Chain A
Amino acid sequence: MTDLAFLSISDGARLLHTKKLSPVEWTTALLDRITAYDSNYNAFLLVSAEQAIAQAKAAEAELAKGQSRGPMHGVPYAAKDNFNAKGAPTTCHSKFLRENLVHEDAFAVRKLRDAGAVLLGKLALHEFATGGPAFDLPWPPARNPWDRDLHPGGSSSGSGVAVAAGMVPAALGTDTVGSIRNPATCCGIVGMKPTYGAVSLGGVFPLSQSLDHVGPLTRSVEDNAIVFQAIAGHDPHDPTSARRDVPDCLSELRKGLKGLRIGVIEHFYTEDAQAHPEQVRGIERALDVMQRLGAEIDHVRLSPLPIWAECNRAIQRAESYTIHEKRLQQRPEDFAAVTRARFLAGAFITASSYIKAQKLRDALCWEYADATRSLDAVVTLSGFQLPCRIDDHSELARTYDQQCRLVFNVTGTPAISVPTGFSSDGIPLGMQIAGRAFAEPMVYRIAQAFADTCDFVDRRPPLSRRTPVA
């Protein structure tokens, strides 16, 4: 019997199109699973069961008549609650937007609606997609399915949890400083931050417009490529949207690594910062595997990580402040403390610093382009530490920003987080594979080749149903 909780999109689509599975059956099974487990993991802010069943029935009727809208037709998914979905509030997990009912879909949500996908609900995030886990908001923070005492990464925390816990096969997330790849790493799944402009930002509540990206979180690389292809494409209403055809990420997915040149950016996690030894061992094992598969591994040096971090943070905090200025002036007490601390910094970034940060970004982008011109991709760590307890504020403050995901928000180039195994305590480990601008097909190809060698990808988190007494 098929385990619908962990059914992949690629297998599910085959079953749906051959009428061996009904979209209603799949949707109902996942809604039941959400009901059974989510009170313990808090992935969902809103479950739209009735609308989901209606969408699933519509997909079933079309598929029964042989009318296929493609591989997402009848496939359940969920969206981070900073994506607009018509008829539902977009809360951004914030007190400010509790009643923010919207009447139009975000571009990515509309693309998935047009593709016949079934939206199960809206997912938890760090407030306004920044900060960290917070207990002073209207909803509790999402928890790590591998150990609910640990944080699940963020800011697309609910997206990571829902996918890893088998509540949905795919979720949408946003990524400004690493917010798709962080929960992907912490929850042991696959998270793609595509090229800036490849997926429209239309209808997504912004954090920092020049660094924001939209992308999918899934359990497999192939599923991720399927969702990416479904949501990519030009949006005439989004000035940042690229005028490019959607790339074919599937036809060369299994071409392997033979003859590819892959750079490893090691100094980020061995010199610029000291990563946890188990994370380092994870990426070292992965590099050995890639070499055995026929890739040539070269070492790449870029500017030290703190330069990239300062560039990203100066831009992000200045742009975020312009979005939240009035809220900070009038109702600063209504932010979570961790969100307020981040946004307030933007008040003290001068126009000169912001422009210099953008000029620095330009130089860093050239540097990255030069360093990767003769390479097919680069590999580096994602997070440097293992997730700590979700309520350990000092450890969160110490470890949460120890990462090199933000580098690829600065360059705007595609970067995917893939699992590299588990720590000795059973906590997921991860790394990034990053490419040149609009080279998503190559990034997916390398990720797929590595994933095909991993025997841990079928490991499932040990979910519990009972909510422990706090």
Chain B
Amino acid sequence: MGDESGVSNEIRVIAELQGLDKALMLFSGQVAAAAEIALKLLGASSQDLATDGWPVAVFDPARYDRADHWWCGAGIICYSGR
């Protein structure tokens, strides 16, 4: 269900909760398109990422230089086709 601007009720509710009433009024098509893009992100690739572990580490690129790591061999996630 949506209104004549093409914005679904679900997206309108989220946008209004975010305080984007003015953007909805002026740029409804852009709001709908932005929502469509955002809600699709990580759809398929996030299936295995839900865990009760610590959510996010402080990003440190040097951390990955170690050979031992938390997911090695655990089969949690590896997209590599190697």
A345 contacts the other chain (Cβ, under 8 Å)?
Answer: yes
Which A residues are CB-close (under 8 A) to B67? Answer: 373
The distance in angstroms between the C-alpha atoms of A141 and B19, with both chains bound, is: 31
Which B residues are CB-close (under 8 A) to A300? Answer: 82
Name the CB-closest residue of B to A370: B80
The distance in angstroms between the C-alpha atoms of A310 and B47, with both chains bound, is: 14
User: Do B80 and A437 have beta carbons less than 8 Å apart?
Assistant: no
**Which DSSP category, helix, strand, loop or mixed, fits chain B's interface?**
loop
CB distance from B43 to the nearest CB of A (A): 8
How many interface residues does B have (CB within 8 Å)?
46
Known A-B contacts A348-B14, A356-B50, A363-B71; A303 and B19 likewise in contact (beta carbons under 8 Å): no
User: Do B49 and A345 have beta carbons less than 8 Å apart?
Assistant: no
How many interface residues does A have (CB within 8 Å)?
59
User: Do B62 and A437 have beta carbons less than 8 Å apart?
Assistant: yes
Known A-B contacts A345-B37, A363-B71, A366-B69; A437 and B27 likewise in contact (beta carbons under 8 Å): no
User: Do A360 and B42 have beta carbons less than 8 Å apart?
Assistant: yes
Which B residues are CB-close (under 8 A) to A304? Answer: 79
User: Do B60 and A197 have beta carbons less than 8 Å apart?
Assistant: yes
Known A-B contacts A242-B62, A328-B20, A437-B65; A355 and B80 likewise in contact (beta carbons under 8 Å): no
Which B residues are CB-close (under 8 A) to A195? Answer: 61-62
The distance in angstroms between the C-alpha atoms of A367 and B82, with both chains bound, is: 10
The distance in angstroms between the C-alpha atoms of A325 and B20, with both chains bound, is: 9
Instruction: Given contacts A310-B41, A371-B80, list 14 more A-B pairs with CB under 8 A.
Output: A195-B61, A304-B79, A310-B42, A332-B20, A341-B34, A344-B30, A345-B37, A347-B15, A349-B38, A353-B41, A358-B55, A359-B55, A363-B77, A371-B82
A-B contact pairs, 6 of them (CB 8 A): A303-B79, A341-B33, A352-B50, A357-B42, A360-B46, A363-B79
List residues of chain A with CB under 8 Å of any chain B CB: 195-197, 210, 240, 242, 300-304, 307, 310-311, 313-314, 317, 325, 328-330, 332-333, 337, 340-342, 344-349, 352-353, 355-371, 373, 411-413, 436-438
